[in-house]
Amino acid sequence: MPRFTLSHDPSPRLSLAASLAVLLSLAGCGTGEKAGGQSQPVGAEFCNPATGMPFIVDENQSGQALSLRIAEIFWGRRVNVHQLAANFDPDPKDPAIPQAVDPDPVFVDFVINQNILTDNVNWILEANPITQVTRLIILARRDAVEPSATCPEGNPDVAERLRFEARLRLTQQNFPFVLPKNDDGSSPTPFSFIPRNACMVIRFNDCLDDDVTPFGELADTVKVFNGIPPTSPFDSRILFDPNHGGLVNGVFRPTRVLISATVSVDEAALMGGVAPNALGFSSSLNSAGQPSVSVRIPTQTAPSATQFEVLRNLRGNPLDFDSGGPRDFGSPTRDIVRALRSGSADDVHNGFLRDETTPDLLGFFQSTVSSPINPSMDRLTWILSLGFDTACTKVPDQGDVIRVNGVVLEVTVMANDVPPGGPYTVNCRASVEVPSGVDLTGDAQFITAYDPLLVMGAVTPACWVGFSPAPVTPPALGVGPGAQATLRFSEPMDPDTLSPFSGFMIVGGAGPSNDEPPEADKIVVSPLLRSPGLDQFFLDPIQPLSHINPQAETYHIRLRGATDLAGNALDSQLPFVNFVLDSTAPTALSGGISFRFDSTDEMGDTGPDIRGQVIYQFGTNGGRIVPRQPVFASYVADRNQPVPMQQTASPLGVQDPLRPLGSKLQYVWRYADFGWKATDETKYDLDIVGLNWAPLGGLADSDFFESFEMRLAHSLFLPDDGILPAGPPPAPSNGNILITGLPPGPCPFENNVLADPRSPQLLVHPSSLGYRIEPANLFVTPSNTVMMPYPYDPFSNIGVGGIPETFTWRDTSVQALGGPFGVGIPQFVEIADAGIVYPNPDDPSLPNLAPGEIARTNQVPSYGLPLLVEVRCFPSNNGLGLNTLDVSLGALPLATVLSGINGGPAFRAYTSGGVGNTGTPQSINPNLEPFPRGGLNPNSLPPNMPSLFSADNQWYLGQIDTVIRVSRAHSIWLKPVSSVHPDNGPADYRLPILLPSPDSFPEGTSVVLEYRGAEPITDAGQLAAAQNADNLDAYGDIAPGQAQVIFLDGDDTWKTAISEIDGAALFQIRFTFINNIVKGVTADLDAVGISFTL
């Protein structure tokens, strides 16, 4: 049998004889009606008087039901149903020989069970390789007749018709039904599964009014949404089922609505405003996840929500909102809801409809057609003379296709044996009647599937690859350096398997004898373009291929691992296809570097290529890097941690910042306060989503502050309350750790914030939201400390796009350094007091790290700096100020007062209002307090005297709630080189290609690439060190002792525009993954390619 055949799909029509047969067998159109109640017998076939097409009667109430309801929802495959041609053989001797098929469909847009596949006994399922229309050929003749003397046109062949109808009924059995579940999170998993390219069928209990809601408006009354959760409107093809319903007053009325997830090019053109879609629904994330498809049917109009019409039966009744099943009480349109889960790569058949037909790679051979003859005068059957214009030739055979002047013809009989190259006399059949006046002569395309047996002599595998513009000598000699390469297939293909980095590639040099993956700098970086039907794919190099005039460089095309949507591989593997550039083209040197993530050392250097917070995942279709998952966690800073354990609990506590007369407070929490080590990278890049304080004694009173604001930042200062060792202080510390903490006034509050444009102080709780303290919100931590939440809750104040704004602490994009005056990290308090051990990272047998050996004073990176919490409590008419916060006192290494700091380095700086010792209230507006002034001390003698210090060693107990929103990784230093020449050096860079493309990342996720450039590293040892990611730190930097990196223009900052590093001889990439912390999803990266000119 041929590898593929054409579907003939003209406008539906029936012959006169067929129409008479229908009328005779069904006792006439329009008969059998009832005025109310069931229109005709359920399951009977009648004809639609308006179209002459048959339909099947569904259960209905002739459109008069008082309660319109959904009877059932299921899904299947949408096809056109055909019968055998009138001259069929009822008893074929050789079933392998295909019989002629009636080009006119019996049923259009007919939904069948997905398990109905070609068996060559009952039916044949096939797709048109040009239009992608799927047709089911039932191997019987519905309109067969038996000629007789009394009836020249013949009497209906009842047995043959019954055979057709029996086989048709088999296609309607065992449909998978959709469970009634909601899309609002109230329904438990699992959700009903639907393949991405399926057609959903909604059957109602009555006939629908398809006059009030014509095709163009149906999408306004039956709405489809997609995504996770399914909130994004989805452009599907929604239509009334023309094959099921009833006759009411002589008019066919449908009982079903079809929702086709796919939209062909032709269908999109008819619909208008809808893009073709061969993939269907977007993929769900996993096989047991949340719903990703939602169908909503409004039951009432709501002009305010632009809902001006609803689906109704002929009586005018809309869908009954109280008919049972999931519904949306909060919707102004009172929607009936059904939620499903679309397929994913984890599901059978790759998440698509069942498909066991292997796809073909098609060759489009340039040819010429002449001498057309239409022997039967039917404008369908033709005899043509076919000659080939290039070395790509083939003897035309059944199933091959000729396309000339917009007409598609299928070869029906193998051409006679003639000299190679033709011309051939070809018998063929047009897919539709050729209009008179259309000329079937001239330039043509001969379309045939790739078969290794066809490759011989001048016919090479290059015949199945297209180049545009055409080569000087087709198929592959004299290709222009800027030419586009094209592959065409017999059916929609999975774009992910045609990656320009691992699937469909242009590679520098001739194809090798082995099948090893190409080197990372040999792949020509090209975007992969595709036709709307996913049957044609194009590689369009970002810049001309590297070429030196008058050389004729060789490149090759690779096609590996390509599959159709259901995961079926090509029947025959295409070998590497060499092609040669046009030697006369102008000189232009170029190259590219590609990450495919299928190895940790793709660049072939001395170590891994990437270092950071990502994980490599290797699979059969290549690799990928994935970020850390959006995990939520809480961390407690209390006296059970080793460092805070060294402090002294304050028996009195503090009221700041919960003061009715106003307060402005800044306090810090260090990494060690939560029991972490500075080197624990799992605690880098943590986003703060909650803050909590500890009430003294574990008790709290109700209170309300109508204006209460919170801000977060990195602290410039790193308090170290460790005990100084005897002897001289370690260099470069000045030995006075008392001033490592927050400074007192008149030093401004704003000076405590680490100055870095990547991490400014962030307002996380606007003052207008206030703060209500409720004892019911008290909770106990795992360490048995009672806590009370601050009002900061980013999920209750979600900003634009539904993504909350959060602060990233220990942010590795921050390049500013801090920690003045102290010894650096690790701190004295960690090593000397708490006894925390930091083994030597280079050699554990060497002595453990001493204080300051990770980072010295004033050189502490962001991961070593504290979280700076700023609270502004505005004067309140409602606040009582009865709550006291639990604090500890930092170590007291010296009983001294320096610069206004009491008893040790300050963990807080503040200004607070209060009642003076004269009984006069003294309120403060925190917005008008630029520097700390302290407050009024209720424990002084006499009480309420001004505090001696505006910054002190009182350390707040608390808890932070975090989520992993950000993950970062850095590449080695990369060297741009030509794809086929030894040239390298300074380059100009082009925008990168990311796979998957950013527009297909899950909603609210992203991957951001940033760059920086450097001058050449001429020392081979230093270059090797710079090209080993093991030598990079969490910021992508390499120790000066290993390699001396001279940054381009002396600028070590990261650039979001790659053009800013033009002229760099080396470049580095930073990958930043952003998770959607609301939906709990991430963006993965399969490949990255960067091209350049030298």
pLDDT over threshold 90, residue 569: yes
Judgement on whether residues 751 and 660 belong to the same structural domain of the protein: yes
Instruction: Please give the pLDDT value at position 32.
Output: 42
Residue 975 lies in a domain: yes
143: closest CA among 9, 14, 13? Answer: 14
Statement: residue 742 has pLDDT above 80: yes
Q: Which residue would you say has higher pLDDT here, 1003 or 659?
A: 659
pLDDT band at 147 (very low <50, low <70, confident <90, very high): low
Q: Are the CB atoms for 740 and 866 separated by under 8 Å? A: no
| pLDDT band (50, 70, 90) for residue 65 | very high
Count of alpha carbons within 13 angstroms of residue 1025, beta-carbon side: 17
Report yes or no on 921 lying in a domain: yes
888: phi then psi, degrees, rounded to nearest 5: -120, 160
Which H helix or E strand runs over 268?
Answer: helix 265-271
Amino acid at position 124, single letter: I
Q: What is the mean pLDDT of residues 251-275?
A: 91
Structure tokens at 909: 């700086």
Could you tell me which residues come within 8 angstroms of residue 934 by beta carbon, excluding any fewer than 6 positions away? Answer: 744, 745, 910, 911, 912, 946, 947, 948, 949, 950
The encoded tokens of residue 101 equal 């098929």
**Average of per-residue pLDDT across 260-279:** 88
* Residue for token pair 């008419």: 877
Mean pLDDT of 209-223: 78
Q: 920 and 974: one domain?
A: no
Neighbouring-strand partners of residue 922? 914
Reply yes or no on whether the pLDDT at 969 is more than 70: yes
**Distances, alpha carbon 1076 to alpha carbons 61, 81, 371, 631, in Å:** 49, 45, 64, 11
- Do 822 and 684 lie in one domain? The reply is yes
pLDDT of residue 399: 81
Q: Which residue has the higher pLDDT, 470 or 376?
A: 470
Q: Average pLDDT in the 726-737 region?
A: 47
pLDDT of residue 379: 86
Please write the tens of the pLDDT for every residue from 414-454: 877 676 667 899 998 887 789 988 999 999 999 999 999 99
Last residue of one domain, picked from the residues 944, 962, 980 = 962
> 566 pLDDT exceeds 80?
yes
Q: Tell me, what's the pLDDT at 429?
A: 85
Measured distance between the N- and C-terminal CA atoms of the chain, rounded to whole angstroms:
52
pLDDT of residue 619: 80
* pLDDT band with cut points at 50, 70 and 90 for residue 23: very low
Dist CA 252 CA 659 (whole Å):
76
Give the structural domain span for 802. Answer: 632-962
Number of H helices, E strands in the chain: 6, 65
Residue predicted with more confidence, 356 or 471: 471
pLDDT digits (tens, 9 = 90+) for 998-1045: 988 988 999 999 999 999 999 999 999 999 999 999 999 998 889 999
Band of residue 600 on the pLDDT scale cut at 50, 70, 90:
very high
Longest dimension (CA), the chain: 129
CB atoms within 10 A of CB 921: 11
**Beta-strand pair 708-714/762-765:** antiparallel
With respect to residue 140, please indicate whether it lies within any of the assigned structural domains.
yes
In this structure, the answer to whether residues 1022 and 936 fall within a common structural domain is: no
Q: Count CB-CB contacts under 10 A for residue 100.
A: 13
Contact 975, 989 (CB under 8 A): no
Residues 975 and 862 in one domain: no
Question: CA 809 to CA 866: how far, in whole Å?
Answer: 8
Tell me the per-residue pLDDT of 123-141, one tens digit each, with 9 for 90 and over.
Answer: 999 887 666 789 999 999 9
Which of these ranges, 59-68, 584-593, 640-649, 898-907, has the smallest mean pLDDT?
898-907
982: pLDDT confidence band, cut at 50, 70 and 90?
A: confident
pLDDT at 215: 46
Pairing mode, if any, of strands 381-388 and 401-404? unpaired
Is residue 709 predicted with pLDDT exceeding 50? yes
Tally of domains in the chain: 3
User: pLDDT tens for residues 29-55?
Assistant: 434 444 468 889 999 999 999 999 999
Q: What is the pLDDT of residue 902?
A: 52
Give the tens place of pLDDT for each residue, 171-204.
999 999 999 999 998 999 999 999 999 999 999 9
Residue 189 is assigned to a structural domain of this protein: no
Shared domain for 955 and 1016, answered yes or no, is no
CB 68 within 8 A of CB 312: yes
The answer, yes or no, to whether residue 21 has pLDDT greater than 50, is no
Residues 935 and 1049 in one domain: no
- Predicted confidence (pLDDT) at residue 18 exceeds the cutoff of 50: no
Of residues 897 and 490, more confidence is placed in 490
Reported as a single tens digit per residue, the pLDDT across 757-787 is 999 999 999 999 999 999 999 999 999 999 9
Mean local confidence (pLDDT), 359-365:
95
Task: Say yes or no to pLDDT of 168 above 50.
Answer: yes
With contact defined as beta carbons under 8 Å apart, do 281 and 75 qualify?
Answer: no
Length of the chain measured in residues: 1094
Q: Is residue 989 part of a domain?
A: yes
Among residues 962, 987, 1014, the one where a domain terminates is 962
Q: What is the DSSP string of 405-442?
A: TTEEEEEEEPPPP-STT--EEEEEEESSPPPTT----E
The answer to whether 528 and 653 are in contact (CB under 8 A) is: no
Is 589 contained in some domain? no
Give the model's pLDDT for residue 13.
32
Q: Is the pLDDT of residue 701 over 80?
A: yes
Higher pLDDT, 910 or 1080: 910
Res. 1093: pLDDT tops 90? yes
The answer to whether the beta carbons of residues 87 and 147 sit under 8 Å apart is: no
Q: Does residue 723 sit within a domain?
A: yes
- Mean pLDDT over 987-1003 rounds to 93
Strands 45-47 and 424-430, sheet pairing? unpaired
Beta bridge partners of 594: 1089
| Same domain membership, residue 1028 and residue 1042 | yes
Residues 847 and 698 in one domain: yes
Residue bearing tokens 């000629």: 147
Give the per-residue pLDDT at 722.
Answer: 81
pLDDT band at 217 (very low <50, low <70, confident <90, very high): confident
Distance CA 864, CA 866 (A): 7
Predicted pLDDT at 1003: 84
Q: Is the peptide bond before 976 cis (omega within 30 degrees of 0)?
A: no
What six digits make up the tokens of 808? Answer: 């990233």
Higher pLDDT, 464 or 102: 464
Residue 8, pLDDT score: 31
Do residues 82 and 114 share a domain? Answer: yes
User: What percent of the chain has a predicted confidence (pLDDT) above 90?
Assistant: 75
Q: 24 pLDDT band (50/70/90 cuts)?
A: very low
Same domain, 886 and 998: no
Backbone angles phi, psi at 864, to 5 degrees: -100, 0
Residues 889, 1003 within the same domain: no
The residue among 713, 715, 898, 721 whose CA lies nearest residue 806 is 713
Q: What predicted TM-score, i.e. pTM, was given to this entire model?
A: 0.86
**Domain termination site, one of 149, 170, 191:** 170
d(CA 562, CA 365): 22
**Higher-scoring residue by pLDDT: 437, 333:** 333
d(CA 235, CA 225): 8
Residue 408 lies in a domain: no
pLDDT beyond 80 at 99: no
Give residue 724's pLDDT. 58
Averaged pLDDT of the chain: 89
Residue 896 is predicted with a pLDDT of 34
Q: Rg for the chain (alpha carbons), in Å?
A: 37
